[in-house]
Amino acid sequence: MSVPLATIRNLSVAYDGETALNGLSFDIPKGGRLAIIGESGSGKSSFARALSGLLPANAALSGEIGWPGFEDRQPQAGRDLCLVLQDPATSLDPVMTIGRQVAEGARAHLGLAWPQAMAQAENLLARVRLPELQRLMHAFPHQLSGGQRQRVAIAAALASRPRLLIADEITSALDMVTQAEIVTLLRDLTRDSAMTLVFITHDIALASTLCDRCAVFHRGRLVEIGPMAEVLARPGDAYTATLIGAHIDLASPRLIEHFQEKWEPVFRPEMRQGKESGGER
């Protein structure tokens, strides 16, 4: 294996004395798609925030994260890596147009003036396969569906061309069909570029359709890490086996692939006309 993107050594995080992450050690390889699997409370969100350097003020971090993939300097949030959040209903500014929210990242990191940044934003929105770009640029988040908002968030995250995208449960607030669409989008985006994806989820079935490596967290500890297929076929830990047993009955990944086949060729225009938000949540 070549130089890893990040090396995590003995990483622990505690909030006001309560341990959330306990002595994690593993590497994140460059360019791959790593799934972090765990239930709520497993510490996976704390890991996402520790990795992106955005832990809240009351968090205490110990151990270290090395970044050989960034020539051993501390990566900058936004320019080198970006964290996309779980709830698309709250992760966009409600009173700023979609165009500006995507453009502000391009402006901050690529040194573009507003008109160029806006043009760049339009390209990014097209890349995440959003339709009716002219209107979308001037729309506000509440006028979009959950899946559309999450696409906008991904476009905004890509604005600075980060080398690491951390997706923290970004599909868990969406319905099955939209989940599959977002997963397909993430797969295509990481296939075309050298971007590394850390895909954090509780859904091992969903992760198995997207990621090549898999790390399983349980109560703040890493219980298992390895290539996806190996972990799925031969879980080395009892907890992982339970997770797989609970989630995969061989039908569900196929079900998702079925949706992908069905929906991928014809992009579904899911712009809603005059409906209240939250319909698909």
DSSP E strand stretches across the chain: 6-15, 18-28, 33-37, 59-66, 81-84, 164-168, 196-201, 213-218, 221-227
Cβ proximity to other proteins, 265 vs 274, nearer residue: 274
Give the interface segment with other proteins, choosing from 104-112, 119-127, 182-190, 239-247 (CB under 8 A).
Answer: 104-112
User: Can you tell me which of 20, 37, 124, 159 binds other proteins, judged by CB under 8 A?
Assistant: 159
136 binds other proteins (CB under 8 A): yes
Instruction: Please pick, from the candidates 10, 74, 90, 242, the single residue that binds other proteins as defined by CB under 8 A.
Output: 90
Q: Interacting stretch for other proteins, rule CB under 8 A, among 60-68, 76-84, 179-187, 203-211?
A: 76-84
3-state secondary structure of 250: coil
- Long-range Cβ contacts of 133-139 (<8 Å, 24+ apart): 136/98, 136/99, 137/97, 137/98, 137/99, 138/97, 138/98, 138/99, 139/97, 139/98
Judged by CB under 8 A, which of 6, 28, 34, 83 binds other proteins? Answer: 83
Q: Is 157 in the site for other proteins (CB under 8 A)?
A: yes
Q: Is 237 in the site for other proteins (CB under 8 A)?
A: no
The Cα diameter of the chain in Å comes to 55
Sign of the C-alpha dihedral, residues 22, 27, 31, 33?
A: negative
**What is each CA distance from 233 to 26, 46, 163, 174, 230, in whole angstroms?**
21, 28, 30, 28, 5
| Residue 226 sits in the site that holds other proteins (CB under 8 A) | no
**Which among 22-30, 74-82, 176-184, 209-217 is the span making contact with other proteins, rule CB under 8 A?**
74-82
Which positions lie near other proteins, rule CB under 8 A? 52, 54, 76-79, 82-85, 87, 90-96, 104-105, 108-109, 132, 135-136, 139-140, 142-143, 153, 156-157, 159-160, 271, 274
